[in-house]
Amino acid sequence: MALEEYAAKRTFANTPEPAPGKTKSKPGAYFCVQRHDATRLHYDFRLEIDGVLKSWAVPKGPSLDPAVKHLAAHVEDHPVEYGDFEGTIPAGNYGAGSVMLWDRGTFDLLGDTSADDQIKRGDLKFRLHGEKLNGDFALVLMKGRGKGNEWLIIKKKDEFATPAWDIEGYAYSVLSGRTQEEIARNLPAKKAKRKTSGAADRVWSSSRPATRAIAKPATSASKPAPKKKLPKSIPAA
């Protein structure tokens, strides 16, 4: 899929989305996930391959639970610049609605064949290094189904696998710390952003290593205060 399809669907004078431009080489392959509240809420999963962002629309979003296999529709390529995009696409434009930069980082291609060859055969394997998503994943084409663009995104069993992982517990931007509603209302970025790892040349990043996206265990309850001693002149009950 070429960027001509991406450009043909958009009027850049009317949308804040980036037009295709000259991209610079980067130290590692970039990935991002954008939470897009358009006609229907969905997640756009993107991998930087051959100078563009190969993209899949995932209605239920990716998961860290290996038992979950979510539909991922292969859509048009996006420019690498789109990996930084967060904001609201105005009504009347293609994909109108708020877009959150939900996760980002880098990825390693797995296997001995190129990403292009893996996509052609319908079995793309990779390892993510993100703020929320980490570990080994696969995108697998559902052959003989629908329009031919229907894939499944699957988490492999590894140290990052998390049974019953709930994506709704992570509905905040790694770029601005905002919720979807705050982005739609064009509210300013949070003063204290949650730090993210991955591509250091992006708008906002951290040198801290990626951490596993699981909730912190609750702290133990504090011990009750010791009972006060009664004066000797007052007998205890």
Per-residue confidence (pLDDT) for residue 23, from 0 to 100 = 62
Report phi then psi at 154, rounded to 5: -130, 130
Distance CA 13, CA 197 (A): 32
- Over the stretch 30-57, which tens digit does the pLDDT of each residue have? 999 999 999 999 999 999 999 999 999 9
pTM for this predicted structure: 0.80
Mean pLDDT of the chain: 84
Per-residue confidence (pLDDT) for residue 202, from 0 to 100 = 32
Distance CA 33, CA 102 (A): 5
Q: What is the three-class DSSP state of 171?
A: coil
- Over the stretch 72-110, which tens digit does the pLDDT of each residue have? 999 999 999 999 999 999 999 999 999 999 999 999 999
Query: pLDDT at residue 232 above 60?
Result: no
Question: Could you give the percent of the chain with pLDDT greater than 70?
Answer: 77
Report phi then psi at 105, rounded to 5: 165, -150
Distance CA 15, CA 175 (A): 20
